[in-house]
Amino acid sequence: MRIATWNVNSVTARLPRVLAWLESTGTDVLCIQETKTTAEQFPSEELRELGYESAVNATGRWNGVAVVSRVGLEDVVRGLPGGPEYEGVEEPRAVSATCGPVRVWSVYVPNGREVDHPHYAYKLQWFEALRAAVAEDAAGGRPFAVLGDYNVAPTDDDVFDRSLFEGSTHVTEAERAALAALRGTGLTDVVPRPLKYDHPFTYWDYRQLGFPKNRGMRIDLVYGNAPFSKAVTDAYVDRDERKGKGASDHAPVVVDLEV
C-alpha cells in the first residue's frame, strides 16, 4: 500500500500534475493540503475517473485539505474536533478517513506568520487540539498516521541555514515542543534521515532560486503510530516532482506499507 502527502498549493493549478503523478506512482491514498478551492469545485470527478474517492474539507481561496483514496473511504471526519477558531472562523485545515486497513489524517497546520502575531498563538492552540483529537487512534492497534504540512521544521538540520531563521516561526522551541507533545501520543516520524541526499527537504520557496540552490525546509511530515511504523517498507521525498514548470513549492512525501 502506498500513501503520500502533498501540499499542492492549489489543486486547480496543479491538477494535471496531480493526476499524472497518481497514475505514474500507483499511489493508493493521497493526503492533499492547500487545495485553495471550495469542496464543490474540488476535482472529485476527474479523480473518480482514475478510481479515487475524495473526502474534502475546503471552503474557498485559502487553506483546504483532502484525502483521496482508491482503497476505500469511510468514517470521514471534516474539521478538527475541539479546534480553535481564528478571527471567528473555523478554518478548513483537517480531514480524516479510514482507507482500507489504515486510518489517516490530512492536516495543514497554521503558518503562525510571526512569533508576536495572533496567528502564532492560534498555531500552538491548534497543535494542542490536534494532539487531543488523535490521542486515542495514536495509541490504538490499527495502523494510523497524521500526514501533512506541519509548518514546523523538527530540528535545525531540517532547514537550509538555521541562522537565517533566528526569531522566526517554524523553528521556535514552542513549536517543536508542540511536535514533541504530538509524538508523545504514540506517533513517530516514519521518514528516515538521511535519505538518498543529505537534506531531504520538502519545501522550497519560489523566490531567489530557492529550489536550484536547495534552500529548503522539511516541514511536510508523516507521523505514524506503532502498527503503522512497523508496516513501513520504504519512505522518500519525491524531489523530482518539485522540478519543472507549474510545480508546487512542496514535494510529495511517499510511504510504502506492507499491510
> Would you name the residues annotated as active-site residues?
108, 149, 250
Q: Quick one: which of 109, 179, 97 has its CA closest to 145?
A: 97
C-alpha 189/C-alpha 107 separation (Å) is: 15
- Element housing 76 (H / E): strand 74-78
233 Cβ contact list (under 8 Å, min separation 6): 256, 257, 258
Ligand-binding annotation for 157, yes or no, is no
Ligand-binding annotation for 249, yes or no, is: yes
Count of C-beta atoms within a 10 Å radius of residue 15? 14
Q: CB burial class (10 A; 0-12, 13-18, 19+) of residue 82?
A: exposed
Cα torsion through 222, 228, 231, 237, rounded to 10: -10
234 annotated ligand binder: no
| Angle, helices 173-183/118-138, rounded to nearest 10 degrees | 10
**3-state helix/strand/coil string of 122-165:** HHHHHHHHHHHHHHHHHCCCCCEEEEEECCCCCCHHHECCHHHH
C-alpha cell at 246: 507549474
Q: Is 220 annotated as a binding residue?
A: no
Ligand-binding site membership of 7 (annotated): yes
The answer to the question of whether 250 is labelled as a binding residue is yes
Rounded CA separation 47/69 (Å):
9
Cite the annotated binding site by residue number: 7, 34, 149, 151, 249-250
Cite the annotated binding site for Mg(2+) by residue number: 7, 34, 149, 151, 249-250
